[in-house]
Chain A
C-alpha cells in the first residue's frame, strides 16, 4: 500500500522527526497566540455579555458599535449574523444594564425590546467552569494513563502512548489558534473525547506490534496502520459531515477539535509512536540474540 511507504522505507529517526517538527510548529503558534492575547477563548471562560438583536433592516454596524460603546463605556464587537446582529462585550450586564441597552436600542434605532435578547456569563461561573475544565482534563488524562498501564505494563510503550496523546492536545491548541476555533465548554468536551479516542489507534498499534508474533515488526506496523487509517477515516466521516453541515457553534467547536486531533494523531501514532516501538522491538530482538548465542 502506497500510503504506508514512510513506515516501510524511512529510518526511525526520520519517522519521528516529522511529528516532532509539526508539534514544535503548532506549539509555537499556541505560544505566540497566548502571548499576544489572540488565542480565541469563548464567553464560557472569559465572561461577558452577548446582546443579540434580531430582525431585518437593521442599522449600520458602525453606528450600533459606536452607540453601544458609548453607552457601556467599553470595547464591543459587532458581528452580523443571519437576520440579526451579535454584539459582544466583556462587561457582565446586570438587570439595570440590560434595561439601559434595550431602551437605548428602542430610543435610538427604533428596535423593539422583544427583538433583543441578552445573554450574560458572570465571573463566578467562568471561574467554576475553568476549574472544572482543568480538573476534568487532568482526571481524564490520569484515568487514561492508568488503563493503558494496566493493559501494557511496559514503561516504554506507556511513555510513547502518553507522549503521543499529549502532543495531540498541544497540536490541537495550535490548530485552534490558527483557525480561530474558540476554547469553550464544547471544545473542552472535544478535548476529553480526544483523550479517550486518540489512544485507540495507539492501542491498536502497540497490541499488533508487541503482542503479535506473525511477520516482522515493520510489516506489523504497516498492517496495523491500514486498519488504523481506516478507523480514522470512518470516524472523520461523521464528524466532518456534522462540522460542515451544522450552524450550531457548540457542535462545530466540538467537531473541529476532534478533526484537528484525529489528523494530528495520525502523525503522532504512525510516525512517532511507531518509530519508538520499532526501535524498542529491534533492541529487544538484539538482546534476545545475545542471550541465545
Chain B
C-alpha cells in the first residue's frame, strides 16, 4: 500500500511536467506540487456553456415507382437547397418511407416545395442521432482547440445537449471560439480554387474495397464551386490540390536553418522564392504558400533581416520555428508581432513546418477524374482517395480530413445555458475544501481516540485515510479526471464513509476481546466485518453508478470519484488496515496476558 501511495504522490506531483500557467495563476504555489492533476473550470475559473444542437428527423413518404432513385434525387435536391448535409437515418423501400436528419430548422411547406412531386412530408420531430452529435463534437473540438493546448472539454449531456467547458476563458471568448470556423482554402496551381463556403457536405469515409489500404472520402460542392473546379482541373491528372486551414497569409516563418538538414526528400526549401516546396509521390511539385526565411539561431542572418525589413507593411507577424534567444528576437523589426510555434514532442520537422503554415493535406487529381472533367462534365460529388500503409491509418487520415473540410457544421447550434466562474472564487472554494479536509481528519482522529483510547488505532485510521485520499488523487491523475467542486465534495465524503468501515472492523475485532463474547478467532472476526462492508459499499457504488450512468454531466465527476475512492478502500486500504488493527490489538492483548502470566508466575514463587 505504501508503494502505491508513493506512486500516487509522484503522479500528483509529476515534477517532470510543466506547471499549467492557468492553474498557477488561480491557485498559486501549490500548483508546483499538483502538476499531475487537472482542475475543472470551477476551480481555475472559466466558462461552462451548454449547447443545443438543432437537428430534425423528417419522415418522408416517397410517391414514385422507383423509390431508391427518387430518394437519392430528393436528398440531392434538399442538400442543394438547404445547404446542409442530409443524413439518411432509415429507408424502407417496401413502404416507400424514409427518415432523414436535417441539421437546421425546417417546415413541411418548405420541404415539400423543394422535393416537388417526388414525395410528401409525414412527420418532423426534433431529435439528433448519436453519430451526428459525436461528429459535431469532433468538429467543434478541431475548431476550438486543434492542438489540444487550451484544455477545453466537450461532453454529451444526453438528448441534443452538449456541455462545453473552457478553463480561463470568459463566456464571450468561448462563444467567439465556438462560432468561428477555421478558414479553409484549397489551392490548385498556386491559386485559391475553393473555400469553405464552396463545400456543401462531407460524407463519412469508407474503404474502397473490404480490407484495402485505400479509403474514400466523399464530399459535395456547390454548383458554383463545381464549375470552377471543372474549369481549373480539367485534364490535369496527378496535379496536387493543397488544403489549408487558417493559413497564416499575413505572416513570415522564421526558421532555424539547422532544420533544413532534417528535411525529408519530399520537402525542400526554395531560397529564391523564400518558400517551402513539397513533392507528391508522382513527382509533382507544389509550393507551401507561406513566406519563410531561415537563419542561425545564434544571430539573425543578414539575408533574413533584409527580407523581414522589405516585407514590413506587407506582413504583420513573424512565426518562430526554433529556439531563438531573446537578443535575436529583439533584432526583428518592431513592426512585427512575434509568435513562437514550439515543436511538439515527437513531431517531425515536416509536420512542424506544415502545422506552422496551416497545411492540412495534399490531394492529387485522379487521371479518371481529370479526363471526365476534360470532357466537359461538371461533377458536384467528389471523392478524395487516401492510401496509407494500413486501412486503419488511412481511415484516421480520412476522418481528420473530414473534420477539416466540414467548415459548415452539420447542424445549427444554440446556446442553452451559460455560466462563468471567477477564478478567485474557485481558488477560495479549493482553499475552503482543503481546510475542511484538515478539520475532518483532526475531528475524526479525536473521535476515534476518545472511543478507543488507543493512540496507535487512531494513528493507523488516519494514516489509512490519508493513503486512501492520495491514491484516489493518483488515480484521478492517471485517468486525467479533472478536479472540480463536485470532485472535492466526493473526496471529503470518501474520508467520511471510509472511516466507517474501519470502525466496523475495529469493533468486530475488539468484540472478540469482550469477556462474554464467544471466541471467534481473529481472522473470522475480520472476515465478518468484511461481510458488512461489502454490502455497504456495494449499495453506495450502485447508487453512484446510477448517478454516473443516468445522471447529468455536471455531477458525474462526483459519482466517479466516490466510486473510485470506495473501490480503492475496499480492495486495497481496508485489508491493510484490518491487518494493522489485528496486529495492534493482538499485540496489546498478548502484552496484557503476558503481564497476567508474569504475575501468576511470581505468585507461584
Binding site for B on A (CB under 8 A): 54, 95, 117-122, 124-125, 128-129, 132-133, 135-136, 139-140, 143-144, 146-148, 151, 185-186, 188-189, 192-193, 195-197, 199-200, 203-204, 207, 211, 214-215, 223, 226-227, 230-231, 233-239, 241-242, 244-248, 250-251, 254-255, 258
Stretch of B218-226, B326-334, B358-366, B483-491 at the chain-chain interface: B483-491
Q: Which of B396-455 contact A (CB under 8 A)?
A: 415-420, 422, 428-429, 432-433, 435-437, 439-440, 443-444, 447-448, 451
Q: Which of B234-242, B367-375, B551-559 contacts A (4 or more CB under 8 A)?
A: B551-559
CA distance A132 to B415 in the complex (A): 20
Interface class of chain B by DSSP: helix
The answer to whether B161 has its CB under 8 Å from any CB of chain A is yes
Alpha-carbon distance A204/B474, docked complex (angstroms): 31
The answer to whether A241 and B440 have CB atoms under 8 Å apart is yes
Contact pattern, B 5-48, Cβ under 8 Å of A = 1, otherwise 0: 00000000000000000000000000000000000001000000
Contacts of B542 in A (CB 8 A): 140, 143-144, 146-147, 196
Within 8 Å of chain A (Cβ to Cβ): is B517? yes
Q: Which of B74-82, B530-538, B588-596 contacts A (4 or more CB under 8 A)?
A: B530-538
B500 touches A200 (CB 8 A): yes
Residues of A within 8 A of B464 (CB): none
Q: A148 to B499, alpha carbons, bound, how many Å?
A: 22
B539 near A245: Cβ-Cβ < 8 Å? no
B551: which of A136, A203, A246 is its contact (CB, 8 Å)? A136
| A227 in contact with B444 (CB, 8 Å) | no
What's the Cα separation between A121 and B545 when bound, in Å? 26
Tell me the complex Cα distance, A229–B496, Å: 13
Give the Cβ gap from A165 to chain B, nearest Cβ, in Å.
9
**With A122-B52, A147-B535, A203-B536 in contact, do A242 and B550 touch (Cβ < 8 Å)?**
no
Are A125 and B485 in contact, with the CB atoms below 8 A?
no
Chain B contacts for A248, CB-based, 8 A: 42, 429, 432, 485
A132 touches B432 (CB 8 A): no
Instruction: Name 13 extra pairs, CB < 8 A, besides A125-B416, A230-B451, A237-B440.
Output: A125-B50, A133-B551, A136-B549, A189-B547, A192-B546, A197-B497, A227-B504, A235-B499, A237-B496, A242-B433, A242-B492, A247-B429, A250-B489
Minimum CB distance partner of B551 in chain A: A136
B residues in contact (CB < 8 Å) with A: 42, 50, 52, 157-161, 171, 415-420, 422, 428-429, 432-433, 435-437, 439-440, 443-444, 447-448, 451, 485-486, 488-489, 492-493, 495-497, 499-500, 503-504, 507, 511, 516-518, 531-532, 535-536, 538-547, 549-552, 554-555, 558-559, 562
B546 and A241 contact, CB distance less than 8 A: no
| B426 CB, min distance to chain A CBs, angstroms | 9
Q: Give the distance in Å from the alpha carbon of A18 to the alpha carbon of B559 in the complex.
A: 33
A-chain residues with CB within 8 Å of residue B443 when the two chains form the complex: 237-238, 241
Max chain B Cβ within 10 angstroms of own Cβ: one of A188, A189, A214, A248:
A189
Flag if B419 contacts A119 (CB, 8 Å): yes
Which of chain A's residues have a CB closer than 8 A to the CB of B550?
A: 132, 135-136, 139
Q: Helix, strand, loop or mixed for chain A's interface?
A: helix
CB distance from B435 to the nearest CB of A (A): 6
Choice from B429, B500, B544, B547 contacting A231 with Cβ under 8 Å = B500
From A143, A207, A238, name the one whose CB has the most chain B CB atoms within 10 angstroms.
Answer: A238
Q: Are A227 and B497 closer than 8 Å at their CB atoms?
A: no
Given A125-B417, A132-B550, is A199 in contact with B160 using a C-beta cutoff of 8 Å? Answer: no
Say whether, besides A117-B420, A119-B417, A246-B429, A148 and B492 are in contact (CB < 8 Å): no
Q: Report 22 cross-chain contacts, Cβ distance below 8 Å, ordered by A residue.
A: A117-B171, A128-B158, A133-B551, A136-B546, A147-B539, A185-B552, A186-B555, A189-B551, A193-B544, A199-B539, A199-B540, A214-B518, A227-B503, A234-B448, A234-B503, A235-B496, A235-B497, A236-B496, A239-B496, A245-B436, A251-B433, A254-B489
Complex: chain B residue closest to A189, CB-CB:
B555
User: Which residues of the other chain, A, contact B171 by a CB distance below 8 angstroms?
Assistant: 117
Nearest A residue to B434 via CB reads A245
Q: Are B436 and A241 in contact (CB under 8 A)?
A: yes
- Which one of B428, B451, B511, B543 contacts A143 once the chains associate, using CB atoms below 8 Å? B543
In the complex, chain B residues whose CB is within 8 Å of the CB of A211: 531
6 tightest CB-CB pairs across the interface, nearest first? A196-B540, A238-B440, A196-B543, A143-B542, A237-B443, A139-B546
